[in-house]
Structure 1
């Protein structure tokens, strides 16, 4: 397992992350097995959100592993807040952020979070309130570090103008098949759809600002349109290239899809949303594979992207 420090923190993190969005589909015994497998493979980073299962996923996680001080010391715990899932609106008010964290800590049976992310941008955000909430949570020892999820550069700049704590993480969608973070930069100034800048150069911005990117849905095509792994109807060429590389490196295609992301020099973490122990093992096998430049580009082109 490859580890690296998140800049401006004391956290040394695995480049594979266990995401817990769907663990409420499992029994507590199955969740415990999943977490044990992740830790045995070297994962030390666990991602949550207060809306996953309406909070149930956090509670199930803590119960399944019988959370205690010894286990907690071996984990880096991250959660996200800012969404009222029941009524589908966003809320970055101080009251909501503080209340959300109190609920997260109670459900995870821990005194603190290593990282708190604001889940999706709130157009009605008053950054002064966010700053007050962050100060209160940090000063009370409830949150060590802060970040965002699905935010563009100017949204981060606006927050950072008021927030005294460095925003150190941005969680964004990225996979071989859903690579808007990369596409427009490659096809710059060309009269094709790929040249449309849909992400405001967020990848380059995060690198300039020492913000670690976490890639969610690393095996998805589009916005939850299904995995590209094994999809021979939509992605026959991509699967062929992945299978050839899997044979070369003696791993599965899941590992190759992981390695495509971790090959990027930005030190991107891969958020695994699987509920299957074997898929965690398969994904982690790609943690330290360093694809050649040609292999990386071959995969990118096989997914249907243009390299002029």
Structure 2
């Protein structure tokens, strides 16, 4: 599978496996998690996307339990994780209000916890999970620079940032931000026209796409989008998920979809998206179905 370079020594697989729902599975044993990892690696999906908050702050530890049983897995993958969201759950169950924390102390503590939970000595890509309206960009930028300099983190980026949020943080940093993980799908088309994709495409910063299947909504029910997905999927011998993912892969911004499912059969088919041919007219058929109207 193709890799997308973020820096001279950090590259992500063209499709990323996301751990958002890892803790929701009925089976969270190391053996079952290992089966998911193996299903990804067999397809060339080498990048695994985490966040400290996933599973109420449990998902990183669930993944780490499988890693501890076979430490050799670490050199076969890239690990992404995120920090700054605090909710009343797990180790933060004493918190009274959901909030964001981009202070040096919190980011450093989060990284140390993630390293321990994930059973690794390095994070390949650390993302600030949500824009913090109380962010001191000098403090946040400095700690991200220091984490990269320490070797604990190899590259840094953000998630859910708008261009001005990105520019504010980057203005206080020596290390380049390398990606922005935002919601993009046939059910969330705004980034194609609101300037988000254009901003990163202009700077050759490949964006990551969370919820590329619209939280599963694109895979269920019937409607204009599903009808076009089904037509293309049937013609090319794949399923809706492959076509919806290929729609993102076809964009010149080099969008990196983050796919999340606990179903081993579906995990094994994630790379089917690479088989789908999406020409310009097909892309616009899907785009217009998502818009619910012709383009102007």
TM superposition shift of 1:278: 1.7
1:293 aligns with: 280
Q: Give the one of 125, 135, 141 matched to 2:135.
A: 125
Answer yes or no: is the 8 Å Cα contact 1:35–1:65 preserved in 2.
no
Name the structure 1 match of 2:202: 208
Unaligned runs of 5+ in 2: 89-96
Other-structure match for 2:4: 4
Q: How does 1:198-237 map to 2 (within 5 A)?
A: 201-220=195-214, 227-232=217-222, 235=223, 237=224
In 1, Cα distance between the equivalents of 2:278 and 2:113? 42
Q: Which residue of 2 aligns with 1:307?
A: 295
- Relative to 1, partners in 2 of residues 1:289 and 1:10: Cα closer, same or farther, differing over 3 Å? farther
Is 1:9–1:145's contact at 8 Å kept on the other side of the alignment?
no
The partner residue of 2:106 within 90, 96, 100 is 96
CA–CA distance in structure 2, aligned partners of residues 137 and 12 of structure 1: 18
Which stretch of structure 1 is more off in the superposition, 59-68 or 240-249?
59-68
3-state SS of 1:307 partner:
coil
- Structure 1 regions of 5+ residues with no counterpart? 186-196
Tell me the equivalent position of 1:272: 259
Question: Following superposition of structure 1 onto structure 2, how do residues 1-308 of structure 1 map, counting pairs within 5 Å?
Answer: 1-6=1-6, 8-26=7-25, 27=27, 28=29, 29-66=31-68, 68-86=70-88, 87-182=97-192, 185=193, 197=194, 201-220=195-214, 227-232=217-222, 235=223, 237-303=224-290, 304-308=292-296
CA distance in 1, matches of 2:72, 2:61: 18
Residue aligned with 2:207, SS: strand
Is the 8 Å Cα contact of residues 10 and 154 (structure 2) preserved in structure 1? no
Q: Equivalents in 2 of 1:97, 1:4: separation in Å?
A: 26
Equivalent residue number for residue 190 of structure 1: none
